[in-house]
Structure 1
Protein backbone atom coordinates (compact mmCIF):
# COMPACT_ATOMS: atom_id res chain seq x y z
CA UNK A 1 0.00 0.00 0.00
CA UNK A 2 2.96 2.29 0.67
CA UNK A 3 4.17 1.94 -2.94
CA UNK A 4 0.68 2.71 -4.26
CA UNK A 5 0.62 5.96 -2.25
CA UNK A 6 4.04 6.88 -3.60
CA UNK A 7 2.84 6.15 -7.13
CA UNK A 8 -0.14 8.45 -6.65
CA UNK A 9 2.03 11.25 -5.23
CA UNK A 10 4.51 10.97 -8.08
CA UNK A 11 1.69 10.95 -10.63
CA UNK A 12 0.12 14.06 -9.08
CA UNK A 13 3.41 15.99 -9.18
CA UNK A 14 4.01 15.11 -12.82
CA UNK A 15 0.39 15.74 -13.77
CA UNK A 16 0.44 19.25 -12.30
CA UNK A 17 3.60 20.05 -14.27
CA UNK A 18 1.96 18.66 -17.41
CA UNK A 19 -1.17 20.74 -16.90
CA UNK A 20 0.96 23.84 -16.61
CA UNK A 21 2.63 22.97 -19.91
CA UNK A 22 -0.57 21.91 -21.72
CA UNK A 23 -2.74 24.85 -20.74
CA UNK A 24 -0.78 28.00 -20.14
CA UNK A 25 -2.63 30.63 -18.11
CA UNK A 26 -2.29 33.15 -20.96
CA UNK A 27 -4.68 31.10 -23.14
CA UNK A 28 -8.04 31.77 -21.52
CA UNK A 29 -9.95 31.07 -24.76
CA UNK A 30 -9.62 27.28 -24.60
CA UNK A 31 -12.79 25.46 -25.53
CA UNK A 32 -14.17 22.56 -23.56
CA UNK A 33 -12.78 19.95 -25.97
CA UNK A 34 -9.32 21.55 -26.01
CA UNK A 35 -9.33 21.68 -22.23
CA UNK A 36 -10.47 18.03 -22.00
CA UNK A 37 -7.75 16.94 -24.43
CA UNK A 38 -5.10 18.90 -22.51
CA UNK A 39 -6.15 17.28 -19.22
CA UNK A 40 -6.22 13.79 -20.73
CA UNK A 41 -2.90 14.19 -22.51
CA UNK A 42 -1.16 15.56 -19.44
CA UNK A 43 -2.62 12.81 -17.22
CA UNK A 44 -1.62 10.08 -19.64
CA UNK A 45 1.90 11.44 -20.05
CA UNK A 46 2.26 11.93 -16.30
CA UNK A 47 1.40 8.30 -15.65
CA UNK A 48 3.75 7.06 -18.37
CA UNK A 49 6.67 9.11 -17.06
CA UNK A 50 5.90 8.00 -13.52
CA UNK A 51 6.75 4.46 -14.66
CA UNK A 52 10.06 5.85 -16.05
CA UNK A 53 9.90 3.84 -19.27
CA UNK A 54 10.38 0.54 -17.46
CA UNK A 55 7.23 -0.94 -18.98
CA UNK A 56 6.24 -1.57 -22.59
CA UNK A 57 2.91 0.16 -22.13
CA UNK A 58 4.52 3.37 -20.90
CA UNK A 59 6.95 3.46 -23.83
CA UNK A 60 4.09 2.76 -26.25
CA UNK A 61 2.00 5.58 -24.81
CA UNK A 62 4.86 8.07 -25.14
CA UNK A 63 5.59 6.85 -28.68
CA UNK A 64 1.94 7.24 -29.69
CA UNK A 65 1.78 10.76 -28.28
CA UNK A 66 5.03 11.66 -30.02
CA UNK A 67 3.51 10.74 -33.40
CA UNK A 68 0.95 13.53 -32.99
CA UNK A 69 2.54 16.84 -34.03
CA UNK A 70 0.43 18.80 -31.56
CA UNK A 71 1.69 16.66 -28.70
CA UNK A 72 5.39 16.85 -29.66
CA UNK A 73 5.97 20.16 -27.89
CA UNK A 74 4.45 18.77 -24.72
CA UNK A 75 6.49 15.57 -24.91
CA UNK A 76 9.74 17.47 -25.41
CA UNK A 77 8.96 19.66 -22.40
CA UNK A 78 7.62 16.69 -20.45
CA UNK A 79 10.65 14.52 -21.02
CA UNK A 80 12.76 17.25 -19.53
CA UNK A 81 10.44 17.29 -16.53
CA UNK A 82 9.78 13.52 -16.49
CA UNK A 83 6.10 13.45 -17.47
CA UNK A 84 4.03 10.47 -18.64
CA UNK A 85 1.04 9.39 -20.65
CA UNK A 86 -1.21 6.38 -20.35
CA UNK A 87 -3.66 5.18 -22.90
CA UNK A 88 -7.40 5.08 -22.33
CA UNK A 89 -9.00 1.66 -22.61
CA UNK A 90 -11.49 1.96 -25.43
CA UNK A 91 -12.67 -1.59 -26.18
CA UNK A 92 -14.29 -4.39 -24.22
CA UNK A 93 -13.41 -8.02 -24.55
CA UNK A 94 -15.74 -10.26 -26.51
CA UNK A 95 -18.12 -12.48 -24.58
CA UNK A 96 -17.96 -16.25 -24.46
CA UNK A 97 -21.07 -16.83 -26.58
CA UNK A 98 -19.58 -14.97 -29.51
CA UNK A 99 -16.39 -17.03 -29.30
CA UNK A 100 -18.33 -20.28 -29.08
CA UNK A 101 -20.47 -19.33 -32.07
CA UNK A 102 -17.36 -18.72 -34.16
CA UNK A 103 -16.05 -22.17 -33.23
CA UNK A 104 -18.82 -23.69 -35.45
CA UNK A 105 -19.30 -26.90 -33.54
CA UNK A 106 -21.48 -29.30 -35.56
CA UNK A 107 -23.42 -32.15 -34.03
CA UNK A 108 -21.71 -34.75 -36.26
CA UNK A 109 -18.18 -33.52 -35.63
CA UNK A 110 -17.57 -32.48 -32.02
CA UNK A 111 -14.62 -30.26 -31.15
CA UNK A 112 -12.79 -31.31 -28.02
CA UNK A 113 -13.32 -29.01 -25.03
CA UNK A 114 -9.60 -28.32 -24.67
CA UNK A 115 -9.46 -27.06 -28.28
CA UNK A 116 -12.32 -24.67 -27.56
CA UNK A 117 -10.58 -23.50 -24.40
CA UNK A 118 -7.30 -22.93 -26.26
CA UNK A 119 -9.13 -20.98 -28.96
CA UNK A 120 -10.87 -18.82 -26.33
CA UNK A 121 -7.59 -18.13 -24.54
CA UNK A 122 -5.90 -17.24 -27.82
CA UNK A 123 -8.71 -14.85 -28.81
CA UNK A 124 -8.81 -13.19 -25.41
CA UNK A 125 -5.03 -12.83 -25.43
CA UNK A 126 -5.28 -11.08 -28.80
CA UNK A 127 -7.94 -8.72 -27.42
CA UNK A 128 -5.82 -7.99 -24.35
CA UNK A 129 -2.82 -7.23 -26.55
CA UNK A 130 -4.92 -4.60 -28.35
CA UNK A 131 -6.21 -3.07 -25.10
CA UNK A 132 -2.87 -2.61 -23.33
CA UNK A 133 -0.55 -0.06 -24.93
CA UNK A 134 2.53 -1.89 -26.16
CA UNK A 135 0.79 -5.24 -25.72
CA UNK A 136 1.47 -6.18 -29.34
CA UNK A 137 5.19 -6.34 -28.53
CA UNK A 138 4.72 -8.84 -25.69
CA UNK A 139 6.01 -12.17 -26.95
CA UNK A 140 4.64 -14.42 -24.23
CA UNK A 141 1.53 -14.49 -22.05
CA UNK A 142 3.45 -14.00 -18.80
CA UNK A 143 4.96 -10.72 -19.99
CA UNK A 144 1.54 -9.62 -21.24
CA UNK A 145 0.00 -10.36 -17.84
CA UNK A 146 2.72 -8.39 -16.03
CA UNK A 147 2.27 -5.42 -18.35
CA UNK A 148 -1.51 -5.60 -17.95
CA UNK A 149 -1.31 -5.68 -14.16
CA UNK A 150 1.11 -2.74 -14.08
CA UNK A 151 -1.14 -0.79 -16.46
CA UNK A 152 -4.21 -1.50 -14.31
CA UNK A 153 -2.39 -0.39 -11.15
CA UNK A 154 -1.30 2.80 -12.88
CA UNK A 155 -4.81 3.53 -14.13
CA UNK A 156 -6.19 2.89 -10.65
CA UNK A 157 -3.73 5.40 -9.17
CA UNK A 158 -4.72 7.92 -11.82
CA UNK A 159 -8.41 7.44 -11.02
CA UNK A 160 -7.83 7.76 -7.27
CA UNK A 161 -5.93 11.03 -7.67
CA UNK A 162 -8.53 12.49 -10.02
CA UNK A 163 -11.35 11.42 -7.72
CA UNK A 164 -9.67 13.11 -4.73
CA UNK A 165 -9.20 16.31 -6.72
CA UNK A 166 -12.83 16.28 -7.84
CA UNK A 167 -14.03 15.84 -4.25
CA UNK A 168 -11.74 18.63 -3.02
CA UNK A 169 -12.95 20.92 -5.79
CA UNK A 170 -16.61 20.19 -5.03
CA UNK A 171 -16.01 20.78 -1.32
CA UNK A 172 -14.22 24.05 -2.08
CA UNK A 173 -17.14 25.22 -4.23
CA UNK A 174 -19.62 24.46 -1.46
CA UNK A 175 -17.56 26.27 1.16
CA UNK A 176 -16.85 29.31 -0.97
CA UNK A 177 -20.34 29.42 -2.47
CA UNK A 178 -19.17 29.48 -6.07
Structure 2
Protein backbone atom coordinates (compact mmCIF):
# COMPACT_ATOMS: atom_id res chain seq x y z
CA UNK A 1 0.00 0.00 0.00
CA UNK A 2 1.23 3.46 -0.86
CA UNK A 3 2.79 5.53 1.93
CA UNK A 4 0.59 8.47 0.89
CA UNK A 5 -2.54 6.43 1.70
CA UNK A 6 -1.14 5.44 5.10
CA UNK A 7 -0.25 9.07 5.88
CA UNK A 8 -3.76 10.20 4.92
CA UNK A 9 -5.25 7.36 6.98
CA UNK A 10 -3.18 8.30 10.04
CA UNK A 11 -4.10 11.98 9.68
CA UNK A 12 -7.82 11.17 9.36
CA UNK A 13 -7.63 8.71 12.27
CA UNK A 14 -6.05 11.25 14.61
CA UNK A 15 -8.55 13.93 13.58
CA UNK A 16 -11.45 11.52 14.11
CA UNK A 17 -10.22 10.41 17.53
CA UNK A 18 -9.69 14.02 18.57
CA UNK A 19 -13.24 14.91 17.49
CA UNK A 20 -14.66 11.91 19.39
CA UNK A 21 -12.68 12.84 22.51
CA UNK A 22 -14.04 16.38 22.36
CA UNK A 23 -17.60 15.08 21.97
CA UNK A 24 -17.33 12.59 24.83
CA UNK A 25 -14.25 11.96 26.96
CA UNK A 26 -12.73 8.49 26.72
CA UNK A 27 -12.64 8.46 30.54
CA UNK A 28 -16.45 8.65 30.60
CA UNK A 29 -16.75 5.66 28.23
CA UNK A 30 -16.61 1.99 29.09
CA UNK A 31 -14.09 -0.31 27.45
CA UNK A 32 -16.62 -1.61 24.91
CA UNK A 33 -17.67 1.94 23.97
CA UNK A 34 -14.01 2.96 23.54
CA UNK A 35 -13.41 -0.04 21.31
CA UNK A 36 -16.41 0.81 19.14
CA UNK A 37 -15.40 4.45 18.99
CA UNK A 38 -11.86 3.61 17.87
CA UNK A 39 -13.13 1.07 15.34
CA UNK A 40 -15.61 3.55 13.88
CA UNK A 41 -12.93 6.26 13.71
CA UNK A 42 -10.51 3.87 12.00
CA UNK A 43 -13.12 2.74 9.48
CA UNK A 44 -14.18 6.30 8.65
CA UNK A 45 -10.53 7.36 8.36
CA UNK A 46 -9.86 4.47 5.98
CA UNK A 47 -12.92 5.30 3.88
CA UNK A 48 -12.01 8.99 3.76
CA UNK A 49 -8.42 8.22 2.76
CA UNK A 50 -9.65 5.81 0.06
CA UNK A 51 -12.11 8.41 -1.18
CA UNK A 52 -9.27 10.90 -1.63
CA UNK A 53 -7.35 8.32 -3.65
CA UNK A 54 -10.26 7.99 -6.08
CA UNK A 55 -11.46 4.89 -7.82
CA UNK A 56 -14.74 3.13 -8.37
CA UNK A 57 -14.97 1.25 -5.06
CA UNK A 58 -18.34 1.35 -3.32
CA UNK A 59 -17.23 0.40 0.17
CA UNK A 60 -15.95 3.89 1.20
CA UNK A 61 -19.36 5.39 0.45
CA UNK A 62 -21.11 2.60 2.36
CA UNK A 63 -18.87 3.09 5.42
CA UNK A 64 -19.39 6.86 5.40
CA UNK A 65 -23.17 6.46 5.07
CA UNK A 66 -23.29 3.95 7.94
CA UNK A 67 -21.15 6.22 10.13
CA UNK A 68 -23.35 9.22 9.38
CA UNK A 69 -26.46 7.22 10.24
CA UNK A 70 -24.91 5.95 13.49
CA UNK A 71 -23.68 9.36 14.64
CA UNK A 72 -26.84 11.28 13.76
CA UNK A 73 -28.81 9.82 16.66
CA UNK A 74 -26.42 9.81 19.58
CA UNK A 75 -22.77 10.88 19.89
CA UNK A 76 -22.15 7.90 22.13
CA UNK A 77 -22.46 4.56 20.42
CA UNK A 78 -23.71 2.51 23.35
CA UNK A 79 -27.34 2.19 22.21
CA UNK A 80 -26.27 1.33 18.68
CA UNK A 81 -23.92 -1.34 20.01
CA UNK A 82 -26.62 -2.87 22.22
CA UNK A 83 -29.11 -3.14 19.38
CA UNK A 84 -26.41 -4.62 17.12
CA UNK A 85 -25.55 -7.26 19.76
CA UNK A 86 -29.22 -8.17 20.18
CA UNK A 87 -29.55 -8.63 16.43
CA UNK A 88 -26.53 -10.95 16.36
CA UNK A 89 -27.89 -13.06 19.22
CA UNK A 90 -31.30 -13.27 17.53
CA UNK A 91 -29.66 -14.33 14.27
CA UNK A 92 -27.69 -17.08 16.03
CA UNK A 93 -30.79 -18.45 17.79
CA UNK A 94 -32.80 -18.35 14.56
CA UNK A 95 -30.03 -20.16 12.68
CA UNK A 96 -29.96 -22.95 15.28
CA UNK A 97 -33.73 -23.38 15.00
CA UNK A 98 -33.53 -23.54 11.22
CA UNK A 99 -30.78 -26.17 11.40
CA UNK A 100 -32.88 -28.37 13.68
CA UNK A 101 -35.97 -28.11 11.47
CA UNK A 102 -34.15 -28.50 8.19
CA UNK A 103 -32.01 -31.46 9.23
CA UNK A 104 -34.39 -34.21 8.15
CA UNK A 105 -35.48 -32.40 5.00
CA UNK A 106 -31.87 -31.85 4.00
CA UNK A 107 -31.06 -35.52 4.50
CA UNK A 108 -33.98 -36.55 2.28
CA UNK A 109 -33.14 -34.12 -0.48
CA UNK A 110 -29.37 -34.82 -0.35
CA UNK A 111 -29.82 -38.09 -2.16
CA UNK A 112 -31.77 -36.41 -4.95
CA UNK A 113 -29.32 -33.55 -5.60
CA UNK A 114 -26.43 -33.71 -8.01
CA UNK A 115 -22.93 -32.50 -7.30
CA UNK A 116 -23.33 -29.51 -9.62
CA UNK A 117 -26.42 -28.37 -7.71
CA UNK A 118 -24.54 -28.69 -4.43
CA UNK A 119 -21.61 -26.71 -5.83
CA UNK A 120 -23.95 -24.03 -7.19
CA UNK A 121 -25.67 -23.72 -3.81
CA UNK A 122 -22.34 -23.51 -2.01
CA UNK A 123 -21.11 -20.77 -4.35
CA UNK A 124 -24.36 -18.86 -3.85
CA UNK A 125 -24.05 -19.10 -0.05
CA UNK A 126 -20.45 -17.95 -0.08
CA UNK A 127 -21.28 -15.10 -2.42
CA UNK A 128 -24.07 -13.97 -0.08
CA UNK A 129 -21.70 -14.20 2.90
CA UNK A 130 -19.12 -12.08 1.05
CA UNK A 131 -21.79 -9.52 0.13
CA UNK A 132 -22.65 -9.17 3.82
CA UNK A 133 -19.01 -8.85 4.90
CA UNK A 134 -17.98 -6.13 2.45
CA UNK A 135 -19.51 -2.69 3.07
CA UNK A 136 -21.54 -1.85 -0.02
CA UNK A 137 -21.18 -5.43 -1.27
CA UNK A 138 -24.90 -5.77 -1.82
CA UNK A 139 -24.70 -3.07 -4.49
CA UNK A 140 -22.15 -5.03 -6.54
CA UNK A 141 -23.90 -6.28 -9.66
CA UNK A 142 -22.08 -9.50 -10.45
CA UNK A 143 -19.53 -11.79 -8.83
CA UNK A 144 -16.58 -10.21 -10.66
CA UNK A 145 -17.46 -6.76 -9.34
CA UNK A 146 -17.94 -8.21 -5.86
CA UNK A 147 -14.50 -9.86 -5.96
CA UNK A 148 -12.85 -6.62 -7.14
CA UNK A 149 -14.60 -4.77 -4.31
CA UNK A 150 -13.51 -7.41 -1.78
CA UNK A 151 -9.88 -7.33 -2.94
CA UNK A 152 -9.79 -3.53 -2.75
CA UNK A 153 -11.34 -3.59 0.73
CA UNK A 154 -8.93 -6.25 2.03
CA UNK A 155 -5.88 -4.37 0.73
CA UNK A 156 -7.01 -1.23 2.50
CA UNK A 157 -7.90 -3.15 5.67
CA UNK A 158 -4.35 -4.48 5.74
CA UNK A 159 -3.02 -0.94 5.54
CA UNK A 160 -5.40 0.08 8.33
CA UNK A 161 -4.11 -2.74 10.55
CA UNK A 162 -0.52 -1.70 9.83
CA UNK A 163 -1.23 1.93 10.77
CA UNK A 164 -3.11 0.91 13.94
CA UNK A 165 -0.24 -1.36 15.00
CA UNK A 166 2.22 1.48 14.56
CA UNK A 167 -0.01 3.86 16.53
CA UNK A 168 -0.35 1.26 19.30
CA UNK A 169 3.41 0.73 19.43
CA UNK A 170 4.00 4.50 19.57
CA UNK A 171 1.48 4.93 22.39
CA UNK A 172 2.99 2.05 24.36
CA UNK A 173 6.50 3.45 23.89
CA UNK A 174 5.45 6.93 24.98
CA UNK A 175 3.69 5.48 28.04
CA UNK A 176 6.84 3.58 29.04
CA UNK A 177 8.96 6.72 28.56
CA UNK A 178 6.54 8.79 30.64
CA UNK A 179 6.63 6.22 33.46
CA UNK A 180 10.44 6.20 33.33
CA UNK A 181 10.57 10.01 33.48
CA UNK A 182 8.09 9.97 36.37
CA UNK A 183 10.27 7.48 38.28
CA UNK A 184 13.40 9.58 37.60
CA UNK A 185 11.67 12.76 38.75
CA UNK A 186 10.39 11.15 41.92
CA UNK A 187 13.91 9.87 42.70
CA UNK A 188 15.40 13.33 42.18
CA UNK A 189 12.90 14.99 44.51
CA UNK A 190 13.71 12.69 47.42
Is contact 2:26-2:34 (8 Å) kept?
no
Aligned-partner Cα distance in 1 for 2:58–2:44: 14
1:104 deviation in Å?
3.1
The equivalent of 2:45 in structure 1 is 46
1:108 deviation in Å?
9.2
Question: CA separation of 1:119/1:177 partners in 2, compared to 1, >3 Å: closer, same or farther?
Answer: same
Aligned-partner Cα distance in 1 for 2:104–2:165: 41
Equivalent in 123, 126, 131 of residue 128 of structure 2: 126
Two-structure CA RMSD over aligned residues (Å): 3.3
Is contact 2:9-2:45 (8 Å) kept?
yes
1:109 deviation in Å?
4.4
1:35 deviation in Å?
3.4
Question: CA separation of 1:6/1:108 partners in 2, compared to 1, >3 Å: closer, same or farther?
Answer: closer
The equivalent of 2:36 in structure 1 is 37
- Structure-to-structure mapping, 1:1-178, within 5 angstroms: 1=1, 3=2, 5-24=3-22, 27=25, 29-32=27-30, 33-52=32-51, 54-68=56-70, 69-70=72-73, 104=106, 106=108, 109-177=111-179
Give 4+ residue runs of structure 1 displaced > 6 Å after superposition.
Answer: none
Name the SS of the counterpart of 1:143 in structure 2: helix
Aligned-partner Cα distance in 2 for 1:26–1:125: 39
Segments of 5+ residues of structure 2 without an aligned counterpart are: 76-87, 92-98, 181-190
Question: CA separation of 1:23/1:107 partners in 2, compared to 1, >3 Å: closer, same or farther?
Answer: closer
User: What's the TM-score once normalised by structure 2's chain length?
Assistant: 0.67
* 1:22-65 deviation line (CA, Å, top 9, x unaligned): 21299475323443333222211111111117421111111112
Segments of 5+ residues of structure 1 without an aligned counterpart are: 73-89, 92-97
User: What's the TM-score once normalised by structure 1's chain length?
Assistant: 0.71
More helix, by proportion: 2
Larger radius of gyration between Structure 1 and Structure 2: 2
Aligned-partner Cα distance in 2 for 1:116–1:26: 51
